[in-house]
A and B are shown apart, each in its own frame.
Chain A
Amino acid sequence: DADVTQTPRNRITKTGKRIMLECSQTKGHDRMYWYRQDPGLGLQLIYYSFDVKDINKGEISDGYSVSRQAQAKFSLSLESAIPNQTALYFCATSDDGSQDTQYFGPGTRLTVL
């Protein structure tokens, strides 16, 4: 079984809809991250969380919110989706001891029409 899972893997939605992307991990890591990937732009950090009570904004948090429901779960929400949020979204985890290595989920491809 994969250590970091994301659901859904693909989603098509309409402008203005609320969308939630979910991430679960079995690695026992405290640190979790949400990134978006756009062609030619690499990965940009949206939000990150160092434990259940510690959530921080990344580079591009506007239009997004997150919830850390448990150590193993970190959800990303788009309150009112817009077309320029069409992208590939990745969740990642790392442990406290070695922040260098992040473990990524398989990604969620989101299309906003």
Chain B
Amino acid sequence: GNSVTQMEGPVTLSEEAFLTINCTYTATGYPSLFWYVQYPGEGLQLLLKATKADDKGSNKGFEATYRKETTSFHLEKGSVQVSDSAVYFCALREKGAQKLVFGQGTRLTINP
């Protein structure tokens, strides 16, 4: 079946550090890939997405590139801010499927 695996958290960084959160997936076809973010006390929000191989999703300084050869969709940001502290979820949706499959989430804390 389809699955998503994220790097273990929590991740703690200093402000302006470079961020990478790893995400790999298992799917039978060519899914769409997503990063959702959950700020404290809130529901999840879509951060970015990519729908085919080599696509790069980007938003709010975050980027992720759909790598079919390594079945990965790692999230990166060049300079994090305290306001980026949240839980980040990688997810996939198979073409034609009706639901999202989420990874376990990675908690990110940015210290000033």
Q: Could you tell me which A residues sit within 8 Å of B by CB distance? A: 4, 33, 40-45, 48, 50, 56, 58, 90, 92, 99-107
Rounded to whole angstroms, the CA-CA distance of A33 and B105 in the bound complex is 19
Q: Which of B92-112 contact A (CB under 8 A)?
A: 93, 98-100, 102-105
Chain B residues near A58 (CB-CB < 8 A): 99
Nearest chain B CB to A55 CB, angstrom units: 12
Bitwise, B18-60 to A at CB < 8 A (1) or not (0) is: 0000000000000010100000011111100101000000000
Rounded to whole angstroms, the CA-CA distance of A50 and B6 in the bound complex is 29
Nearest chain B CB to A51 CB, angstrom units: 12
Rounded to whole angstroms, the CA-CA distance of A103 and B44 in the bound complex is 7
Nearest chain A CB to B100 CB, angstrom units: 6
Chain B residues near A103 (CB-CB < 8 A): 43
Q: Could you tell me which B residues sit within 8 Å of A by CB distance? A: 4, 32, 34, 41-46, 49, 51, 89, 93, 98-100, 102-105
Docked-complex contact B43 and A105, CB < 8 angstroms? yes
Docked-complex contact B44 and A99, CB < 8 angstroms? no
Chain B residues near A104 (CB-CB < 8 A): 43-45
Nearest chain B CB to A68 CB, angstrom units: 15
Report the nearest A residue to B9, measured CB to CB.
A40
Chain A residues near B104 (CB-CB < 8 A): 40-42
Rounded to whole angstroms, the CA-CA distance of A42 and B107 in the bound complex is 11
Q: List 28 A–B pairs whose Cβ atoms lie within 8 Å, in order of A's numbering.
A: A4-B43, A33-B99, A40-B104, A41-B104, A42-B102, A42-B104, A42-B105, A43-B102, A44-B102, A48-B98, A50-B98, A56-B98, A90-B44, A99-B93, A99-B98, A100-B46, A100-B49, A100-B51, A100-B93, A101-B46, A101-B49, A102-B44, A102-B46, A103-B43, A106-B41, A106-B42, A107-B42, A107-B43
Rounded to whole angstroms, the CA-CA distance of A33 and B103 in the bound complex is 17
Nearest chain A CB to B79 CB, angstrom units: 27
Chain A residues near B49 (CB-CB < 8 A): 100-101
Report the nearest A residue to B41, measured CB to CB.
A106
